[in-house]
Amino acid sequence: MSANERATRAFKDILRRPGNDACADCGAPDPNWGSCTLGVFLCLSCSGIHRNISEISKVKSLTLSRWEDHEIQFMAENGNELMKSKYEAAVPVYYYKPSHKDCQVLREQWIRAKYERKEFCEPGNLTYEEDGMLMKRGRDNGQFLSRRFVLSEMEGTLKYFTKYDAKEPKAVIKVDTINATFQPEKIGNPNGLQITYLKDYSTRNIFVYHDSGKEIVDWFNSIRAVQLHYLKVAFPGATDAELVPRLTRNFLKEGYMEKTGPRQKEGFKKRWFTLDHRRLMYFKDPLDAFAKGEVFLGNMAHNYSVSLGLPAGTHCNGTFQYGITIKTPERCFLFTCETEGDQQEWVKHFNEVMSAQMSPQEYTMEATFKHKH
């Protein structure tokens, strides 16, 4: 039996052990790489990030690389569960652990924080104040300019100033209205972060980035930390497991659809749609500061529904052909998608949202929507 065959057979057994069947860093199934210096099993994507910290982690393919007997023995003695107990011993509850679906900057900083900076090996004295410069996209001209941002746990606010020494902030954002999500493609920067918040019951977007991946991920996790602090004050009986899902969240889906107006006689116009749980927002441009409109998606038991296609007799004069009809207690909304795949995916998400039970906060949001519209 060749050395390669021996290694393959040995890894088959080792990978059956609890925790070794998924990437140690992002949870992707069936890892086919290993770090022979850290003793963890990795997916292809995370192994590429490990290559950038080669002084700490030496990666090899489980099937294509040559493994020494002592290296195989090391992998068998360690493995994902044991190494997590060391390198993730004290991950703060608010800290966002990225999955294989998350963007590169989140996954890279998670890996560097674990193995290079050893941030989670033991509890640290963490503060949740941030004060620094971020590049912010101008609302009207689309230019990115350096702006000072200040995050305060004591005040529960994120402020930004047009000049570093400005006395008055340009905006004061309450952290409990914030959602932050990484948007590298949309913003056109690998460290691009979209900060969404409510202003006078309307959604406002600001787009920022920092040249340093560590800096932007630190801002992101600090926002989550301050949010958790405020949720604990607001809901003293709630557990961490109940509160953490209410921190920043990725959008369920984004993309172009066409829509018609309330009378459904207007032409179908192309809009950028963002589904943020129960709020379906639409924009003229993906980087607009304000949504042109929003649709609240309540529970099916309360006369909310979604169906494929458009009502009979609808004159569809747009370029997209795959229709979707959303019914709310107040009115019908008609949309069209470019492809059948898009149509199916939007409808799947709408159904999932409308099937979910509503929280007391969501009932309040629904009442606000009805009052506003």
Query: Which option is the CATH number for 253-371: 2.10.70.10, 2.30.29.30, 3.40.50.850, 2.40.110.20?
Result: 2.30.29.30
Is 315:323 a contact under the CB 8 Å cutoff? Answer: no
Is 217:236 a contact under the CB 8 Å cutoff? Answer: no
Q: Which DSSP state fits 22?
A: B
pTM greater than the 0.85 cutoff: yes
Report the mean per-residue pLDDT for the chain.
91
Whether the pLDDT of residue 107 is over 80: the answer is yes
Is 140:159 a contact under the CB 8 Å cutoff? Answer: no
| Arithmetic mean of pLDDT, 206-235 | 95
CA 183, CA 29: separation in Å to the nearest integer? 24
Q: What is the pLDDT of residue 7?
A: 72
pLDDT digits (tens, 9 = 90+) for 10-27: 778 888 899 999 999 999
Q: What is the pLDDT of residue 313?
A: 77
pLDDT confidence tier of residue 6, bands split at 50, 70 and 90: confident
Which residues of the chain does CATH 1.10.220.150 include? 3-116
pLDDT digits (tens, 9 = 90+) for 94-103: 999 999 999 9
Whether the pLDDT of residue 316 is over 80: the answer is no
Which residues of the chain does CATH 2.30.29.30 include? 130-246, 253-371
| Arithmetic mean of pLDDT, 246-251 | 90
Q: What is the pLDDT of residue 371?
A: 61
Q: What is the pLDDT of residue 64?
A: 84
CA 212, CA 121: separation in Å to the nearest integer? 23
CATH number for the region 130-246 comes to 2.30.29.30
Whether the pLDDT of residue 147 is over 90: the answer is yes
Q: Name the superfamily (CATH) of residues 3-116.
A: Arf GTPase activating protein (1.10.220.150)
Percent of the chain whose pLDDT exceeds 70: 96
